Amino acid sequence: MHQLLEDLIKVMTLERLEINLFRGESRDIGSPQVFGGQVLGQALVAATATVENRAVHSLHAYFLRRGDFNSPIVYEVDRAWDGKHFAMRRVIAIQHGQQIFNMSASFQMPEVGVDHQFPMPDVPLPESLPDLQQYRASLTGLPPAMLKMLDQKRPFEFRPTEMPNFARAEKRPPFKYVWIRAVDKLPDDEALHRCLMAYASDFQLLDTALKPHGLSWARDKMVIASIDHAMWFHRSVRVDDWLLYAMDSPSASGARGFTRGNVFARDGRLVASVSQEGLIRVTS
């Protein structure tokens, strides 16, 4: 397995301290705090470890404080409810004696019912698009901290359908389409793929709210951070095959941007939906 993906799985494998208590380590991805998707994914790993014969179908989370990637994070799971078909879990992430994140997640036993979905957008296939890293060579004049983050090697490939707005001010409609895929094959473990999908869902999303304003986190002075994150899993997902992340931003106001995403498998199945609101505070 690719070293970067192997390391991600190591990060997502938590140490069990007690029956409902887990501890995880972090990685520096170039940002000043722990990547929100990592905390989201680890919290889902902790919740999943307390549930049997059910798969997560939805989660709702709040980011409360910045995480410190130099210290471990403790995840406390509350087994709120176990019913005949559904189970509910609440997770609190604790670091340095304070809550930095909390999440509720619902799990369901497999059932058959009505089935419909939106069609997948008609966009170029991933094979015809360059990887996000290939755009890096054309970027100049950015702050060193931003270049460090852009240069960071990641366990996922990202192939946007249009060139990212890193270094130029150009107002565009609030829509974005990015193909994503893990850099190597993974085991046939649905729970693992859903946890890694939660991890990857925090990439790229909030940037969509910047597009109508010609803003870029890599160039403009601003405070940008996730406030909350919700996710629904509709169908079986594999993150080691190409997934189309179709994102939009219906609104931005009050120093907050609201974004949504639909995740489609290569065969057109809608496998997950995401929504997020984030802080967007322009400082100059």
Would strands 98-108 and 55-63 be described as parallel, antiparallel, or unpaired? Answer: antiparallel
Tell me the C-alpha distance between 150 and 165, whole Å: 13
pLDDT at 167: 60
Active site residue 104: no
Domain presence at residue 122: no
pLDDT at 135: 67
Domain presence at residue 159: yes
pLDDT at 152: 76
Q: Which domain holds residue 40?
A: 3-110+129-282
**Amino acid identity for residue 123 in this structure:** V
Cα–Cα separations (whole angstroms), residue 119 to 58, 196, 264: 21, 24, 9
CATH of the domain at 263: 2.40.160.210
Domain presence at residue 118: no
> Would you call 119 helix, strand, or coil by DSSP?
coil
Domain presence at residue 34: yes
Q: Which of 42, 226, 249, 273 is catalytic?
A: 226
Tell me the C-alpha distance between 237 and 48, whole Å: 16
pTM, two decimal places:
0.94
Active site residue 276: yes
Place of tokens 């919740």: 47
Number of structural domains (the chain) is 1
Tell me the C-alpha distance between 48 and 89, whole Å: 9
pLDDT at 215: 87
pLDDT at 221: 81
Domain presence at residue 115: no
Q: Which of 202, 204, 207, 216 is catalytic?
A: 202
- Residue 274: in which H helix or E strand, if any? strand 270-282
CA triple 203-159-186, angle to 5 deg: 70
Q: Which of 26, 95, 216, 276 is catalytic?
A: 276
Cα–Cα separations (whole angstroms), residue 82 to 43, 53, 122, 235: 18, 11, 41, 22
Say if residues 108 and 57 touch (Cβ distance below 8 Å): yes
Give, for all 284 residues of the chain, the pLDDT tens digit.
899 999 999 999 999 999 999 999 999 887 778 999 999 999 999 999 999 999 999 999 999 999 999 999 999 999 999 999 999 999 999 999 999 999 999 999 999 999 999 999 999 999 999 887 776 666 666 666 666 666 678 899 999 998 776 666 689 999 999 999 999 999 999 999 999 999 999 998 999 999 999 887 767 788 899 999 999 999 999 999 999 999 999 999 999 999 999 999 999 999 999 999 999 999 87
Domain presence at residue 75: yes
Active site residue 152: no
Domain presence at residue 89: yes
Tell me the C-alpha distance between 169 and 184, whole Å: 35
